Structure 1
Amino acid sequence: MVRAAIVYYSRTGTVRQVAEAVAARSGWPLAEVADVKSRAGILGDLRCVIDNLFHRQVEYRYDGPPLDRCEHVVVLAPVWMGGLAAPMRSFLAASAATPPLAARVSAICVMAARGGFQAEAEIARLTGKTPAPALVLVERDVLSGDAAVEIDDFVQALRLADSRPAHAERPAWLSPNET
């Protein structure tokens, strides 16, 4: 069984930069979700919009261990139009379908201005797990290097989470007014 994997999708290289920083700090291996067809140029931009607007399942390539063999999966993805990028959404939908994902899930979403929390909620829905720890980064902070402290804190939280027993979700009926 693979202890952990950092699974990322990056169209422009920004999320890859974050994934490589997390891998360097944690020592965990990288696994890439990539497009089968290029998304370069104006037509690629248009496909991104259409794929996310209509929640289309898209073709992707995956280079990494099967998720059902991982104890912990860290998902990194960009935010497109206020939601999770289509290739990562398609990958998670296919990977978590059968068998259900048993691994712990953590997440980092990189957004231009908004939608990071909706993307993390989408990761939770697709995997059936609440990402913990979870982090939303702004693209300009990643590119300027200002996100380094937040990435360090995230990796510390990953280490802390892995040193504790798995968190059991509290049934909703015990706290019906809390979300």
Structure 2
Amino acid sequence: MKALVVYYSRTGNTRDVAQDVARELNCDLEEIYDTQKRSGIIGWLKSGYQANRGKYTIIKELEKNPASYDLVIIGTPVWAGKPAVPVSTFLRDYRDELNNVAFFCTLKASGSESALQAMAELSGKTPVETMVIEESEIKQKTCDCKLEPFVRDVVDF
């Protein structure tokens, strides 16, 4: 199975998980780059507002072609109960190039179910597996108990 991990990360939490997944699967990794500035409190507020309103952004073109992979694993932070705007944009723009998908999200509090549901709707795909990791699990380095079954299950899909 040829897999690609694609992710967006504003603070680095989702990046850390994406790197762990790619390392465990020994697969390619690609970051989604947004053209809008999202740092600081203003970026945080704008990001949550745009996610809540179902807005899109302009992302840089990917270096890797998702259509050439059996599985694309997509990672996002949860913003206002939705996937990050750059991930929503990726799912809209690359929808027809996705063969099979798996999703993971990182979050501080709640909203993972609605974010994962929105990702499925945007991609038009039912994920082969999903994973939710809370910020506290990343900071305390206790997310391995979720990472290992996720990786095992995506390999076996």
TM-score (norm 2): 0.93
2:145 is matched with 149
1:60 is matched with 59
Q: Is the 8 A contact 2:52 2:81 kept in 1?
A: no
Distance change (3 Å), C-alpha of 1:62 and 1:115: farther
1:9-88 alignment, distance < 5 Å: 9-88=8-87
1:122 is matched with 118
Shift of 1:61: 2.0
Distance change (3 Å), C-alpha of 1:13 and 1:62: farther
Q: Is the 8 A contact 1:30 1:64 kept in 2?
A: no
Shift of 1:5: 0.5
Q: Unpaired segments of 5 or more residues in structure 1?
A: 162-179
Q: Which amino acid aligns with 2:78?
A: V
Q: Which amino acid aligns with 1:46?
A: L
Q: Is the 8 A contact 1:79 1:111 kept in 2?
A: yes
1:167 is matched with none
**Runs ≥4 residues deviating over 4 A:** none
CA RMSD after TM alignment: 1.5
Distance change (3 Å), C-alpha of 1:102 and 1:6: closer
1:140 to 127, 136, 140: 136
Q: Which amino acid aligns with 2:149?
A: D
DSSP 3-state at the match of 2:32: strand
Shift of 1:102: 4.6
Q: Is the 8 A contact 2:72 2:98 kept in 1?
A: no
Distance change (3 Å), C-alpha of 1:102 and 1:38: closer
Alignment coverage as a number of residue pairs: 157
1:37-71 deviations in Å (ceiling 9; x for gaps):
22111221121122112211112224431222221
Identity %: 29
Q: Is the 8 A contact 2:36 2:57 kept in 1?
A: no
Which of the two has higher C-alpha Rg? 1
Q: Is the 8 A contact 1:112 1:140 kept in 2?
A: yes
1:112 aligns to 2:111 (yes or no): no
In structure 1, how many angstroms separate the alpha carbons of the residues matched to 2:114 and 2:52?
14
In structure 2, how many angstroms separate the alpha carbons of the residues matched to 1:102 and 1:109?
18
2:88 is matched with 89
Q: Is the 8 A contact 1:101 1:127 kept in 2?
A: no
Q: Unpaired segments of 5 or more residues in structure 2?
A: none
TM-score (norm 1): 0.83
1:86-114 deviations in Å (ceiling 9; x for gaps):
11001110111xxx245111011111111
